[in-house]
């Protein structure tokens, strides 16, 4: 049995017609007999190319408003018949069924219709039935049939027609079958997830077709791939290829900055903020963010929620950093930042980020809602005799936004909407606090009168005791410890203000 096949009969049923014209003309030039139905048949006829109506094979018209066109034994028999099985070939002859060597399909745009905000009836009508069935049938019989499952494979078909005269080897057809089942499974996953948005059944189904192989993973000896449409979120203006670790930092930076409304500049290293400040002017925001930890800022990720101007870019250019992210740049600022050839410059687009997050765990996956909670002044419960001032309440909100995005156990010290220091990823809250105080003192940042934010409650009063010794006067924490009163009593005895939020912000 020869494994090489030449296309002689083609069945074509597509939604998108872009890029199809040249394929139709080439098929016609090669003497391929074309079968089609509905809008695709009309498109081919308008090109002046002879096309056979599927209805002529089936003796049935398109019915139910186009819902049923190709679902017929005379269509699927011609696709699924095994050319090397004598009985299959004889039945094709007995029932006057043509062999189909090429099936070209492009499905109804279900995902695009959902994303457009269309009503349910419009969405349901974009669930392709005939097309998905044609794809699966042709892919199953890849030994004899070439399957082109979407417009994304038009270029491959064009190469087969132009360079190979319509002939294919079995390895080519098998790879196309692989792509076909990728298309069909992705399509079904999208449909399932649409229906499950109404019921939230505990099933895990994700399908992402866009993939980019990275230089390596977290370390050079690890392979890494990013699955997703990065270009939907960012436009890369300049710089080297983005790495696995860059992506982790970029995600952390984006979710952090999104909690701030006023002009804010943040510097991150290993997913944690090492500097952040909110100011009226961009340059001041950058300078004060950098002052928080100019050592850790080296090689970091820079992000802001406002346009970067040229004075700020001049200051930034003095620092070695990997990535900068902003919603806009002055032209002069871009030219300054582009001076370093490897520096990654990203323009952030106005898009919505996912509200669910998942990660592999042991032999499975865990899924959770993303932590979108952010407590404001009205959510804070005063538990001490002393009340924070208006400025201190603003600093409490500022510090809470940062600690929420800091690896646990986490403590954040802030003053005048500037990160003074943080203790990150420590095994005890005391160690995190001591780390933060030591760091602030090292960089000569005055924390007298600063506020302290904790991602979780204090099990004992020792944290507020140490904070008081460091000059901290105001504290925000979730509360919830059986010994909360001990911390409250200490604060009352030492003229400290403390508020509870009732919300924990662990991050691991």
Q: What is the pLDDT of residues 383-437, one digit of tens each?
A: 999 999 999 999 999 999 999 999 999 999 999 999 999 999 999 999 999 999 9
Under a CB-based contact definition with an 8 Å cutoff, are residues 293 and 278 in contact?
A: no
Residue 489 has pLDDT above 80, yes or no: yes
| Residue 308 near residue 208 (C-beta atoms within 8 A) | no
**Is it the case that residue 67 has pLDDT exceeding 80?**
no
Return the closest-CA partner of residue 346 out of 309, 282, 316, 302: 302
pLDDT at residue 2, rounded to an integer: 55
Q: Are 267 and 297 in contact (CB under 8 A)?
A: yes
pTM for the model: 0.88
Is the pLDDT at 332 greater than 80, yes or no? yes
Q: Could you report the per-residue pLDDT of 103-138, keeping only the tens digit for each?
A: 999 999 999 999 999 999 999 999 999 899 999 999
The pLDDT tens digits of the residues spanning 7-58 come to: 999 999 999 899 999 999 999 999 999 999 888 999 999 999 999 988 888 7
- The distance in angstroms from the start CA to the end CA of the chain is 58
* Structure-block tokens of residue 302: 């820079």
pLDDT at 69: 72
pLDDT tier for residue 80 given thresholds of 50, 70 and 90 = very high
Rounded percentage of the chain residues whose pLDDT exceeds 90: 90
Instruction: Give 62's pLDDT tier (boundaries 50, 70, 90).
Output: confident
Mind giving me the DSSP string for 378-409?
Answer: GGPEE-SSS---HHHHHHHHHHHHHHHTSPSS
Structure token pair of residue 282: 């961009």
Q: What is the pLDDT of residue 1?
A: 45
Q: Hey, which bits of 183-245 come out as E strands? A: 211-213, 225-227, 234-238
Catalytic (active-site) positions: 140, 270
Asked whether the bond before 507 is cis by omega within 30 degrees of 0, the reply is no
């Amino acid at each position: 049995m020869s494994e090489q096949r030449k296309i002689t009969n083609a069945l074509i049923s597509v939604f998108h017609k872009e890029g199809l014209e040249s394929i139709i003309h080439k098929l016609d030039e090669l003497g391929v007999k074309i079968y089609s139905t509905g809008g695709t048949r009309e498109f081919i006829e308008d090109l002046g190319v002879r096309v056979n109506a599927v209805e002529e094979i089936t003796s049935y018209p398109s019915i139910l408003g186009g819902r049923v066109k190709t679902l017929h034994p005379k269509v699927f028999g011609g696709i699924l018949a095994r050319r090397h099985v004598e009985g299959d070939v004889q039945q094709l002859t007995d029932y006057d069924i043509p062999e189909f060597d090429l099936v070209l399909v492009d499905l109804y745009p279900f995902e695009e219709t959902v994303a457009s905000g269309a009503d349910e009836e419009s969405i349901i009508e974009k669930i392709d039935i005939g097309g998905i069935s044609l794809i699966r049938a042709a892919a199953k019989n890849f030994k004899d049939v070439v399957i082109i499952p979407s417009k994304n494979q038009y270029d491959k078909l064009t190469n087969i027609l132009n360079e190979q005269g319509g002939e294919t080897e079995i390895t080519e057809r098998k790879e196309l079958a692989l792509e076909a089942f990728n298309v069909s499974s992705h399509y079904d996953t999208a449909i399932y997830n649409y229906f499950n948005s109404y019921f939230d059944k505990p099933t895990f189904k994700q399908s992402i077709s866009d993939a980019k192989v990275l230089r390596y993973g977290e370390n050079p000896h690890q392979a890494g791939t990013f699955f997703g449409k990065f270009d939907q979120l960012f436009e890369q203006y300049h710089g080297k290829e983005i790495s696995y670790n860059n992506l982790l930092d970029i995600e952390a930076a984006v979710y952090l900055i999104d909690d701030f409304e006023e002009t804010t500049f943040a510097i991150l290293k290993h997913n944690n903020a090492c500097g952040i400040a909110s100011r009226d002017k961009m340059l001041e925001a950058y300078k004060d963010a950098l002052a928080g930890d100019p050592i850790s800022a080296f090689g970091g990720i820079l992000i802001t929620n406002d346009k970067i101007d040229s004075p700020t870019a001049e200051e930034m250019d003095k620092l070695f950093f990997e990535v900068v992210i902003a919603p806009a740049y002055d032209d002069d600022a871009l030219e300054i930042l582009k001076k370093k050839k490897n520096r990654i410059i990203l323009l952030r687009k106005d898009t919505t980020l996912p509200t669910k997050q998942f990660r592999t765990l042991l032999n499975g996956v865990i899924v959770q809602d993303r932590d979108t909670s952010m407590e404001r002044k009205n959510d804070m419960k005063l538990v001490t005799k002393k009340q924070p001032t208006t400025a201190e309440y603003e600093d409490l909100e500022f510090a809470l936004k940062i600690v929420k995005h800091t690896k646990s156990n986490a403590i954040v010290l802030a003053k005048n909407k500037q990160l003074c220091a943080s203790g990150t990823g420590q095994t005890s809250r005391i160690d995190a606090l001591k780390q933060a105080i030591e760091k602030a003192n090292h960089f000569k940042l005055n924390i007298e009168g600063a506020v302290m934010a904790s991602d979780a409650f204090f099990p004992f009063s020792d944290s507020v005791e140490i904070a008081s010794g460091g000059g901290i006067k105001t504290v925000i924490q979730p509360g919830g410890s059986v010994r909360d009163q001990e911390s409250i009593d200490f604060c009352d005895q030492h003229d400290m203000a403390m508020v509870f939020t009732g919300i924990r912000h662990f991050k691991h």
